[in-house]
Amino acid sequence: MNVSEALKTRVSANAFDTKAQLSTEQITELVELASEAPSSFNTQNWHVIAITDPEVRKKIRAAAWDQAKVTDSAVLFAVLGSTKVVNKLSESMELATSAGVVNNEIKDWFETNAAKFYDDQPQLCRDEALRSSSYLAMSLMLAGQEKGYGSGPMIGFDSSEVEKILKVPEHFVVSVLISMGPLATEGNWNRKPRRKNIISFNTY
């Protein structure tokens, strides 16, 4: 399946095959594929929690409008963005220098200017936490689509309660929950048509 097919066939699913399972290796591969997404200054300021424990998922379901897909899918992902945007930048840039993608001068430029850009900018940092983690979330859904899995993204949840259940550090924001896995044979809507009048050139 190519990217065009994945984009045109993915639906926001609600009904999953409750007997389906994904292995730790399959789940890890999905997240690693998703981490190829872009991020500001290569900060990679995200984290993904793959939730497979039925008891944990029951608690999250109670905090997520009792949505059945929270517990019915093969895996539930919580996609997190860090408001400490540059926290892992030295690590990600070290990978880039080790791979010969950039030299130490460019590495230092990234680290210095990213720190200046986000320093004392709490709203910008929160915006970036949501933005970068959203890139990863969409990439995760497309990776799942390629593998033949359905996905159901959710914003209908009590974020503070979910963060408490998952023991999320305070500098992270849960941007979205995503149920993923093989779909049920019935119960999902057909794909909704998209509006076409969404582009203009040069000005609105």
204 found inside a domain: no
Residue 52 lies in a domain: yes
Residue 144, domain member (yes or no): yes
pLDDT tens for 76-101 read 999 999 999 999 999 999 999 999 99
Domains in the chain: how many in total?
1
176 within domain boundaries:
yes
166 found inside a domain: yes
Q: Is 21 helix (H, G, I), strand (E, B) or coil?
A: coil
Segment 138-164, tens digit of pLDDT:
999 999 999 999 999 999 999 999 999
CB 13, CB 152: distance < 8 Å: yes
Q: How far is CA 186 from CA 16, 66, 68, 101, 201, in A?
A: 9, 20, 14, 47, 41
pLDDT confidence of residue 1: 87
As given in the structure block, the two tokens for residue 200 are 């203009």
Residue 56 falls inside a structural domain: yes
Using DSSP's 3-state secondary structure scheme, residue 177 falls into strand
Average pLDDT rounded to a whole number, residues 183-199: 94
Percent of the chain with pLDDT over 70: 100
Q: Is the pLDDT of residue 11 over 90?
A: yes
What's the pLDDT tens digit per position in 65-74?
999 999 999 9
d(CA 37, CA 125): 18
Pairing between β-strand 75-82 and β-strand 172-181 as defined by DSSP bridges: antiparallel
Domain CATH code at residue 150? 3.40.109.10
Mean pLDDT of the chain: 97
Which residues constitute the domain of residue 10? 3-39+46-85+133-181
Mean per-residue pLDDT for 29-48? 98
pLDDT band for position 10 (50/70/90)? very high
What residue type is 132 in one-letter code? Answer: S
Q: What is the pTM of this model?
A: 0.95
Residue 95 lies in a domain: no
